[in-house]
Amino acid sequence: MFEFSSRLKTISYVLILIGALSVGFSFLAGGGHHEDEHGEHATMHDEHADHSDHAEHADHASHDNHGEEAHHETAVHPALVHDDMPETDDFTYHKGASRAIPENNHFYASPEHHDAEHIHHQIENKPWSNLLVNSFWALALGLGALFFMAVQYAAQVGWSAVILRVLEAMASFIWVPGLVILIIILTGWFHIGGNHVYHWMAEGIMNPDSPNYDALIAGKEGYLNGAFFTLRALIYLGGWIGAAYMLRKMSLRFEQAGVDYAKNWAKMRNLGAGFLVFFAVTSSTSAWDWIMSIDTHWFSTLFGWYVFATMFVSALTALMMIVLYLKGKGYLAEVNQSHIHDIAKFMFAFSIFWTYLWFSQFMLIWYSNIPEEVTYYMARFGEYKGLFFTMLVLNFLFPILVLMSRDAKRNKGFIFTAGVVILFGHWMDIFIMIMPGSVGSNWTLGLVQIGTMLGFVGLFINVVFRALSKAPLMAKNHPMYVESTHFHQ
């Protein structure tokens, strides 16, 4: 049996404390700090507030007329007519182009008002966006492991039987980041704590009579509404957590006497196959919901696959690091060099797969050059250029150069170091997916963001290693156990 050492527990608690302090600091001080840095934006917002107060006390009728005039003036601005859009690579133009297309888009109706309001919301979004980046990254570690485990059962894979308990422990972590994501969704829906991460949840944005009305977003009301959004999140999390629990429960039956192991094995195969169907749908729709809907006007049919690739590479890398740690402590004696080599091959292969999807999405959007679509990359090239290309190097060039050779895939120290870099690279990938649409140019990457990530690492260590300590690391009555212990290549 694996023993969760007091030293490792202490490390996990320290990391959790760092994470809690980082989250607390981001909520208490993040907005105020930003206002000092962006006095100009704050002034714009204050001017708008003063104007509203003045209008309220002076003359409501006059205010309404003023609003109508302003709306009319901006509505006829020739630069915002779709047919007259010039061919240009100017970032500022493309950033606003998608807002200008529908004539009754609320950005189009009163751009100065909404720019000031959105900057204020972006400042308030910073702690929530930070929390979403880290919780989704942590979710990827557990959910990717659950997917990989289900594949092993559905395909009746033999070589991986000796690492299944590690996958089970990783999958048991899903509820922790899942709960955080659920809190982010509910606070956004009910407008609690300045959570405006999901812009489509703004009040009146789907009401034609509201000054916040946005025709494009209103057209998606059947799918993007608070009740259905929350219901989908509950279905995703319920299905994933339920499948992880059932597979773990059935796996533990291999330790019990008097159990029909063949029948139990057949049930696990069926459950694994059924879960893969559920996962195929929910992995994409959850990516649409929790990340893509932040950039509400933008869409990509490849995005779900792209997020899946990030999720799977991250989970495989975490799996490798846990296996190497356990072997370093004298556990998992059945895991040999061939097992390590195979997991490293998965890390390498799916890093290439991630690159293929990244380039496919980028090429199709950039080549078509449709304003509604290119804004996604223009924002990342314009305000996140350094991070964007660093992330690409870490997730593409680094795995190719480091993990290409056979010897590298069998060198434990080499792989562990590479794993740290790859995990951070995909954390940056998720950061770049979420931040541009939620905080815009008001992003920061410092101690708060890194501290929050370390907090989730601490939670991951605590939950996963506790699960590992509650059952034997090897399911010795597993039908594929003997085959797995003799795996060589």
The amino acid that residue 109 corresponds to is: A
pLDDT at 116: 66
Helix pair angle (303-328, 164-171), 10° resolution: 120
Contact between residue 317 and residue 346 where contact means Cβ atoms under 8 Å apart: no
CA dihedral (257, 259, 1, 158) in degrees, to 10, reads 130
Which tokens belong to 416? 């562990």
Assigned token pair, 454: 């370390």
Does the predicted TM-score (pTM) go above 0.75? yes
Sign of CA dihedral 186, 133, 125, 291: negative
Q: Distance between CA 356 and CA 352 in Å, rounded?
A: 6
- DSSP label of 80: G
Distance of CA 449 to the CA centre of its chain: 14
- Residue 319: both structure tokens together: 């799996």
Which residues of the chain have a pLDDT value below 70?
Answer: 30-118
Identify the residue whose tokens are 């001017």. Answer: 47
Instruction: Please write down the HEC assignment for all residues of 411-468.
Output: CHHHHHHHHHHHHHHHHHHHHHHHHHHHCHHHCCCCHHHHHHHHHHHHHHHHHHHHHH
